[in-house]
Amino acid sequence: MEQTETKLIHTGKEFNITPSVTPPIFQTSTYFAPDNADDYIKLANTTNSPWFYHRYGNPVHSQVIAILASLEGTESALLASSGMGAISTAVLAVVRQGDHVIVQRSHYAAANQLFHDLLPAFGIEVSIVEQSDNQSFENALRPNTRLIYLETPSNPILTLTDLEFVGQLGKKHGITTMCDNTFASPLNQRPHDYGIDIVVHSATKYLGGHSDLTAGAVCASHEWITKIWRRMLILGASLSSFDSWLLLKGLRTLSLRMNQINQNASELAVWLEQHPQVRNVIYCGLPSHPQYELAKKQMKGFSGMLCMEVTGETPEKQLENAQTVLNHVRIFANATSLGGVESLIVHPASMWGIKDFPDKQQQIGINNGTLRISVGIENIQDLIADLDQAFKAIN
């Protein structure tokens, strides 16, 4: 059987009908109809049809879909115009008015808005549970529970959810389970292997890997992908031809990038944990992580995401010290997003406008000293030296 590195290069080549080694960008909104009317009807009703109309599919989309399904171990996949396009479309394909959804406390901010604001407005009940407590999921079950939605590791503080427990819980009660696998990537974690029905990604992040595109992905069975695809036709969250082509190019090097990122982040986390200006480090691969054993069980690698808390006698001093680090880094970029080849560092309390709201910070699990890091593929010694000189600027 071909290994991952080979699959990333060669899977889906049958959709490149040209003699070019690198697939071209199919920059067209529509395609000539075949002479046979029955063939045209088939194209118009085939999930992810690559030769009908762009909102339905695209030849490069089909190549990317084949790779993603192989990576996640699912029957099929689907592309969307953004991570939230994938998440919201998938969720809305599962639930309807009168249904009940269970979500965990720690989520990507936009996903929180979907569950806290949009779904209730459409008559869908949402219960919030503590994701590190398996029993909380079971306690939240209702007769009308239709979906359990997960994100593990979660953004930003890397809390884990027991995928096997939730997967079995969903199967036992006939409830659909869905997991955002963005922070891990399919090379580090495959939720479907633990019984999760639907896996979603912001492909903008690790899958693309170069901070040059915006895309989303859904991986699931043929049956679920067809349902979600039909919902996407209505919602119109189709991915552009150019971004699909960029995503295909990014996926080619995913294994190389993730291997380097995993190694860099692990070394950086260990170094940070010993630094006198750092009060706490949160990284799934550290034995100090409260769910380290679970991380080892369900993750092959621990990705490039970590959080550190800089020292400071007061919240105000912590904020000052965190801003000093941000203002003095030279290699790390103070920019939102994650998962690219370049290392990024952000101050979540400022990014989400809650630096002056300790109650909201406590709900998320951060404080004014928290910095979130997305480790890239640079030389690890350069990354360590960059943070070291930035720490030295703290008074």
Active site residues: 55, 108, 180, 205
Which tokens go with 331?
A: 């290699």
Cβ(86)–Cβ(220) below 8 Å: no
Rounded CA-CA distance 366/371 in Å is 9
Q: Name the one residue in this structure whose structure tokens are 């979130």.
A: 372
- Alpha-carbon Rg for the chain in angstroms: 22
- 19 SS3 class: coil
- Dihedral sign, Cα of residue 207, residue 213, residue 216, residue 217: negative
Query: Which residues, in sequence order, are bridge partners of residue 37?
Result: none
Task: Report the alpha-carbon angle 117-105-97, nearest 5.
Answer: 40
Who's near 376: CB < 8 A, 6+ residues apart? 261, 264, 304, 340, 341, 342, 343, 344, 383
Backbone φ, ψ for residue 114 (5° rounding): -60, -45
Note the residue count of the chain: 395
Q: Which residues of 232-244 are buried (b: 16+ CB within 10 A; e: fewer)?
A: beeeebbbbbebb
Query: Which residues, in sequence order, are bridge partners of residue 145?
Result: 100
Q: What's the one-letter identity of residue 388?
A: D
**What is the DSSP pairing of strand 145-151 with strand 100-104?**
parallel
